[in-house]
Structure 1
């Protein structure tokens, strides 16, 4: 059995961390380009990598918010595919899981 209070706390801490990291990346992406062409090329390559990381963070932020909403409306821990319960072990390992281990395979 999952302690929902503990899970909410864990998910909120994760959400805060993700939001903070996303904000740092967005700040980095807003920087003006250097006047030097070779530096601009390096900056643009770095920005492309940061955009990929930002997309990944944004996707996880959405998943964490969805998990918190599921807890709030009492559907957390129910497989979105088959409707069976998601094991406590799976939820502890992956709190944002929306499918049981069988459906996720």
Structure 2
């Protein structure tokens, strides 16, 4: 059985970073609302960019939560599609991936 203790800590650290980033983005989005039309248009563009960052963070957070759930169930490191072992090199690159290299194609 493979030991994923360090990987668990890595995922939990990244999870905390994402949650902090999402809170910061939410606070920044809530603070906007300049009555000046030109300034408001610029803020709107910035808000769209921040919302995209937030959506990206949410997607990564779901991947991490899935990986942590698989760890708790003892299924982490095995492909959810074919059951093959996911290589350590792949997990080093994409620690939250649920798929082996072949199934990810």
| TM bin (shorter chain) | over 0.9
Shift of the alpha carbon at 1:6? Answer: 0.6
Question: Normalising by structure 2, what TM-score?
Answer: 0.94
Give the Cα separation in 1 of the matches to 2:3 and 2:40.
50
In 1, Cα distance between equivalents of 2:5 and 2:35? 52
Runs of 4+ aligned structure 1 residues displaced above 6 Å come to none
Aligned to 2:9: 9
Aligned residues: 105
**Structure 1 residue 11: deviation in Å?**
0.5
Deviations 1:47-74 (A, max 9, x none): 0111011000011011111101110000
Contact 1:78/1:86 (8 A) holds in 2: yes
1:32 deviates by 3.6
- Which runs of no fewer than 5 residues in structure 1 stay unpaired? none
Q: Distance in 1 between matches of 2:15 and 2:104?
A: 23
Please report how far the alpha carbon of residue 3 of structure 1 lies from its aligned counterpart in structure 2 after TM superposition: 3.1
1:34-53 equivalences in 2 (<5 Å): 34-53=34-53
| Contact 1:77–1:85 (8 Å) recurs in 2 | yes
| CA-to-aligned-CA distance 1:8-52 (integer Å, 9 cap, x gap) | 111100001111111100111111410110000001111011101
Q: Which residue is equivalent to 1:90?
A: 90
Structure 1 length normalisation: TM-score? 0.94
Structure 2, unpaired ranges of 5+? none
